[in-house]
């Protein structure tokens, strides 16, 4: 049986069944692609989570098992609101792992969710209640729990690294060049330039 290392529980902060779903999905995807946990920047994970649903915990499991961490910009959510993710390498090989509906239906019947529906946070739910749901996630035969496909045509590249930074003429803080805005001949960071949050995205 797959075991969740203790450091991963600590990193995630509480015990729940969805972080383990992501951890297991990551292990499966790495095995199928024949790759190890990423050390540097060559692999990307695309969890299909959105916001405002509890299953987003799976993204921490994916980060822990694949090494595709947020800080290294190796993980990006698609906002589809689905319990699935794709692991991608620059060699254009991609593997998608999706939770089977029947697996999620059965998972939803565990007592853990009775507590969650009452608004009790996972860290306050007794381990005796959470453990059966976690074990179900880790022990369900792979083909019952997940659907594995090899999507074609996925293209992804990250913005090129730029090491050039300039000081903002208003606040004096450093800002990386591509985020610099010019107003009346002044070099300004985005907050000082008064840009809206929606306008801060940078294209590759
Ligand atoms: Zn969680
Ligand atoms: Zn500024």
Q: Say if residue 96 is in the same domain as residue 173.
A: no
> CATH number for the domain including 90?
3.30.1330.130
What spacing in Å lies between the alpha carbon of 174 and ligand 2's midpoint? Answer: 8
Cα–Cα nearest to 123, from 16, 23, 8: 16
Antiparallel, parallel or unpaired: β 165-167 and 84-89: unpaired
What is the Cα–Cα distance from 127 to 112, expressed in whole angstroms?
A: 9
**Spatial distance between the Cα atoms of 53 and 7, rounded to a whole number of angstroms:** 25
Number of structural domains the chain divides into: 2
Residue 199 alpha carbon to ligand 2 centre in Å: 16
| Residues whose CB is less than 8 angstroms from the CB of residue 36 and which lie 6 or more positions away in sequence, other chains included | 30
Neighbours of ion ligand 1 (CB under 5 A): 16, 19, 57
Residue 67 lies in a domain: yes
The reply to whether 187 and 86 lie within a common domain is no
CATH of the domain at 195: 3.30.60
**Per-residue pLDDT tens digits of the chain, which is 204 residues long:** 799 999 999 999 999 999 999 999 999 999 999 999 998 888 999 999 988 877 899 999 999 999 999 999 999 999 999 999 999 998 878 999 999 999 999 999 999 999 999 999 999 999 999 999 999 999 999 999 999 999 987 878 777 778 899 999 999 999 998 889 988 899 999 889 886 655 555 554
pTM of the model as a whole: 0.88
User: What is residue 201's predicted lDDT score, i.e. its pLDDT?
Assistant: 57
Residue 145, Cβ neighbours under 10 Å: how many? Answer: 24
What confidence score (pLDDT) does residue 47 get?
96
Which residues constitute the domain of residue 169? 165-199
Q: Report if residue 158 sits inside a domain.
A: no
* Residues 180/187, Cβ–Cβ less than 8 Å: yes
């Amino acid at each position: 049986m797959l075991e969740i290392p203790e450091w991963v529980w600590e990193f995630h902060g509480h015990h729940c069944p969805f972080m383990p779903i992501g951890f297991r999905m990551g292990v499966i995807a790495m095995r199928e692609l024949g790759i190890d946990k990423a050390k540097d920047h060559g692999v990307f994970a695309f969890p299909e989570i959105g916001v405002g649903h509890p299953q987003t915990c799976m993204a921490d499991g994916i980060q822990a098992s694949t090494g595709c961490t947020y800080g290294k910009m190796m993980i990006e959510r698609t906002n589809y609101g689905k319990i699935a993710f794709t692991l991608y390498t620059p060699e254009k090989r991609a593997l998608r792992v999706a939770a089977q509906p029947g697996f999620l239906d059965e998972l939803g019947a565990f007592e853990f969710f009775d507590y969650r529906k009452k608004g009790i946070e996972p860290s306050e739910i007794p381990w005796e209640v959470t453990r059966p749901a976690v074990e179900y996630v880790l022990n369900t035969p792979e083909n019952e729990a997940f659907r594995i496909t090899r999507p074609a045509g996925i293209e992804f590249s990250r913005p090129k690294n730029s090491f050039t930074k300039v000081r903002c003429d208003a606040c004096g803080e450093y800002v990386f060049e591509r985020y610099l805005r010019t107003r009346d001949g002044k070099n300004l960071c985005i907050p000082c330039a008064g840009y809206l949050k929606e306008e801060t995205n940078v294209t590759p």
